[in-house]
Structure 1
């Protein structure tokens, strides 16, 4: 064993070196996942917009909120334990579907006290719809992948957003009290940006979050559109809702985050970390073995059914065929709905949602969230691992809750 140990270490070192070299030289594929992550430099991250916020709001504090809005805003209310009283604009770009009723109530209270809420997303939680009394619908782009954005009261017209399979728009809202600020155009012009007064403050709802992504801000003059939208926010402190949200209660540290995450994003540091782990594990493995005769291990009979499932799952994992898995998950889910509840699943519309909620005894908003996500997935041609994970979690939650 002592003679073989140096050879094994050399082999391991060569493997790691080859892996690092291949990783550096290999051509990276473009990840078009719409994460809206403020730390991501990928096309549909929002790191450029996030870094420009301090220059857009000069002489004001830009704070990044890594916690749920309810816990953070409660902590920074009057007579609470935060280091300041939260006042200004709360900004959410994409991923607003995580908002639960408690967070929405706290955000509405924040606005009612004279502050501002800005959300740019494709759709909003049911409670926001019910509170502000509006509807959002989807129009498919049948000609090409381009839609044209404009702002009503600013000289900003026909800003293109490409790679766009369709647009969401406000089909119904309070036209007397709400103000239309922007439009999107595919076959015809439709409203996608409104201002809604609420108490002493205002709520801005926008339906094209891709306008704030790195890809669009760095292409041609598209940054003017995002800049024009943000110009509606008052000159005050900004609270930016982070993608890397901590799902626990607030502990008083608004900037709390992992110190290791930044190192893992740097290729050299990442492989240095992995190399240290590999050699550490090898050291423990070869030094932990007791020097004695090998005791023969009698293997129990294998469960071939489990092995078959593992083989099939590994096949899908290696091929990265997320679209096939997403299609199968949706197909099996709808088949079970037809079998268990005798409901026609040909058209997944509002009538279907009401009928399914009635027969299952579940909340309509929970059912709507799942069905809307399935309808959205059906419009996409390309999928990523996060889409599959999110679909699986929502289907499991549907049966467990």
Structure 2
């Protein structure tokens, strides 16, 4: 034990030093990736927006959609197999290019039945562009401060501005007859970035600046008022927030993989409680490693499973009612035993064979003749029943007894 003490002491010191090293606050690099993930707390995540949705649509259900609209809306339709009928507002923030043609068709069908589709993204699925006849352009932001100003056609609604914006996306072409311009973006020129179009019995709202929904912009100044004005165009109804793309495209994967332990490690008291428990746990294992006898493995003898195997096979045949197979096997086994035990040829089952078998086995000739005649009778049959098998087995058992 004295020889091991220095080693144990070094291990303890290293553990304590590592605990101090982990406790030092490290400078974190801010990730400005635009994930648009409703679980992400990064600047361009949507966790704040996701938490505020229930307050914006009070007394209405907020559902998060983790599947392609094609499958989700089809399942939750009037003829579907889902747990409810999907009605209300379908909201998609960023990453809308993942939508398949079938999903776009399902979304348009959802809208045509009197519902609402709201998408805020830089580009949309190609089928949406083709169906609505829209085209999108991009203008680089010439200002050094990279600030874009966003406003509404309705002057009573709140306008805003966003920074860290390299450029602006805007609608270059749309059907002016069926489309209503609701908002603009301005750098050097005022351009359309928010439109509404009717489709069937419902409405489609397309917006070209998804960053306004992110944590960074919602928590800065009064920019949240612009988002409230945007969503004020939507009917007061249930909300379906699309989240499928985040789980498929791999954005912000560290948010999904982050464990709940990280929160505890951020709290000083919990952190040291955890480290103390870890240190004592390691010490306990070190001191008890050589004090305990190794577990002696119990070697169990091999079991004779022949009887169980035979029962299983016989039950299998019997349950399937394959009487012919069982009868053939029983007769074959009986003749094999006759050939082995009494050295008799079983090809011809005549009186000579019966006499020899009776003499060698010590059985009455009458009983042997009854058995052989029944075997010949049953071999001539085409159909077999349970009674045939039982009778054959009874004759053979009488011969062996």
Which interval holds the TM-score relative to the shorter structure? 0.5 to 0.7
Mapped to 2, the partners of 1:4 and 1:79 lie a distance apart of 74
Instruction: Give the C-alpha shift of residue 115 in structure 1.
Output: 0.8
For the pair 1:57 / 2:57, whether they are aligned, the reply is yes
Q: Which runs of 5+ in 1 are unaligned?
A: 249-257, 288-401
Query: What is the rounded CA distance, in whole Å, between the counterparts of 2:60 and 2:33 in structure 1?
Result: 32
Structure 2 equivalent of residue 189 of structure 1: 190
**Alpha carbons 2:35, 2:246 under 8 Å: kept:** no
Cα 1:77/1:56, change in 2 over 3 Å: same
Q: Secondary structure at the match of 1:215?
A: helix
Give the whole-Å Cα distance in 2 for the aligned partners of 1:132 and 1:143.
Answer: 32
Distance 2:237 2:158 in 1: 27
Greater RCO structure (CA 8 Å; 6+ sep): 1
Superposition RMSD on alpha carbons, in Å? 3.5
Paired with 1:269 and 1:143, the residues of 2 have a C-alpha distance of 40
Q: Distance in 2 between matches of 1:84 and 1:11?
A: 60
Native 8 Å contact 1:95 1:243 kept in 2 = no
1:77, distance to aligned residue in structure 2 (A): 1.3
Q: Deviations over 1:19-42 (max 9, x none)?
A: 5213xx112232222111212222
**Shift in CA distance, 79/243, structure 1 to aligned 2, threshold 3 Å:** closer
Q: Against the structure 1 CA distance between its residues 13 and 59, is the aligned structure 2 distance closer, same or farther, given a 3 Å change threshold? A: same
Q: What residue number does 1:390 align with?
A: none
Q: CA deviation at 1:14?
A: 3.9
Secondary structure, aligned partner of 1:266: helix
Cα offset, 1:13, TM superposition: 3.1
After superposing the two structures, state which structure 1 stretch, 172-181 or 156-165, moved more.
Answer: 156-165
Partner of 2:143: 143
Structure 1 position 81, deviation (Å) = 2.3
Structure 2 unaligned regions, length at least 5: 250-254, 290-401
| Alignment-derived partner of residue 205 in structure 2 | 204
| Preserved contact between residue 67 and residue 247 of structure 1 (Cα < 8 Å) | no
Structure 1 residue 112 displacement after superposition: 1.5
Query: How has the CA–CA distance of structure 1 residues 118 and 2 changed in structure 2, closer, same or farther, with 3 Å as cutoff?
Result: farther
Match in the other structure for 1:268: 265
Q: 1:156 is paired with a residue of what secondary structure?
A: coil
* Contact 1:150–1:183 (8 Å) recurs in 2: yes
Native 8 Å contact 1:149 1:157 kept in 2: no
Shift of 1:245: 4.5
1:21 aligns with 2:18: no
Match of 1:159 in 2: 160
Q: Give the TM-score normalised by the residue count of structure 1.
A: 0.60
Please state whether the residue corresponding to 2:260 is helix, strand or coil.
Answer: helix
* Aligned pairs (5 A) from 1:7-18: 10=12, 13-14=15-16, 16-18=18-20
Q: Which residue of 2 aligns with 1:80?
A: 80
Q: 1:32 to 1:243 in 2, by over 3 A?
A: farther
1:64 and 1:157, CA in 2 relative to 1: closer, same or farther beyond 3 A?
Answer: closer
Distance 2:161 2:139 in 1: 16
The equivalent of 2:299 in structure 1 is: none
- Counterparts in 2 of 1:24-173, with a 5 A limit? 25-144=25-144, 145-156=146-157, 158-173=159-174
Change (3 A) 1:280 1:87: farther
Aligned partner of residue 33 in structure 1, secondary structure: coil
Residue 193 of structure 1 deviates from its aligned partner by: 0.3
Q: Is the 8 A contact 2:94 2:122 kept in 1?
A: yes
Other structure's SS at 2:23 match: helix
Q: Distance in 2 between matches of 1:244 and 1:10?
A: 47
Would the aligned equivalents of 2:158 and 2:229 in 1 still touch at CA under 8 Å?
A: no
Q: 1:14 to 1:101 in 2, by over 3 A?
A: farther
Give the drift of 1:128.
1.3
CA contact 2:65–2:244 (8 Å) conserved in 1: no
CA shift digits 1:269-320 (9 cap, x unpaired): 8998x9999x999x9xxx9xxxxxxxxxxxxxxxxxxxxxxxxxxxxxxxxx
Change in Cα spacing, 1:64 to 1:176, as seen in structure 2 (3 Å) is same
| Distance in 2, Cα, partners of 1:28 & 1:197 | 47
Give the distance between the partners of 1:238 and 1:217, measured in 2 at CA: 19
Change (3 A) 1:90 1:280: farther
